[in-house]
Amino acid sequence: MKNSDKEQYIPLPIWFIKLTSDKKSPVYLTPFEQQLYCLIKGLSNKGECYANDQYFQKIFKVTIKHINKSIHKLEHLRLLKITNENNKRLIYCIGNISKGSVLIEFKHEINKVSLTTENNVYEYSTKDFHQIHDPNNKNYNKELYGDKNRT
């Protein structure tokens, strides 16, 4: 079997799959959104993804409206970044979902921030978030940021 004939596998941590499958999670993704994210992650493993709506429509057999709504949700969750270059959409996977990752969701309309780790989900007011995010502040959350040895 040639290398080009082999299927490509896109590794995702189990904690990320569990977290995005939980409807109570702030980063809940529908099965379609999970599949779309995996495909984009696989297509962009060397940088950006150039796939257009018609490509995704051909793969998933859904409407372009559904594709765009899902891409915008993934962008809102800061898992993707969308740019335009020469009238082409470029999609970057910016959400670091490796072991020890922290996913941050800003909920500006209610002045809240959600921090999601592989072990827990933390909800903070915007003010409190800035305090726990600043290593010079006495309320800095060392455990959240992996600084267990920091004093």
The stretches in the chain having pLDDT less than 50 are 1-2, 5, 148-151
Q: Are residues 26 and 32 in contact, defined by beta-carbon separation less than 8 angstroms?
A: no
Q: Is 1 domain-assigned?
A: no
Range of the domain at 72: 9-93
How many CB atoms lie under 10 A from the CB of residue 146?
Answer: 11
Tally the C-alpha atoms within 13 A of residue 116's C-alpha that lie toward its C-beta: 24
Look up the pTM and report it: 0.67
Same domain, 86 and 144: no
Q: Is 109 domain-assigned?
A: yes
Question: Using the 8-state DSSP alphabet, how is residue 48 labeled?
Answer: E
pLDDT for 65: 97
- Give the orientation angle of helix 31-43 with respect to helix 53-60, to 10 degrees: 130
Q: Is 134 domain-assigned?
A: yes
Same domain, 68 and 33: yes
Distances (CA, A) of 60 to 35, 40, 57: 9, 13, 5
- Examine the fold and report which residue of 47, 62, 93 is the final residue of a domain before the chain moves on: 93
Same domain, 113 and 148: yes
Same domain, 32 and 74: yes
CATH code for the domain in which residue 14 is found = 1.10.10.10
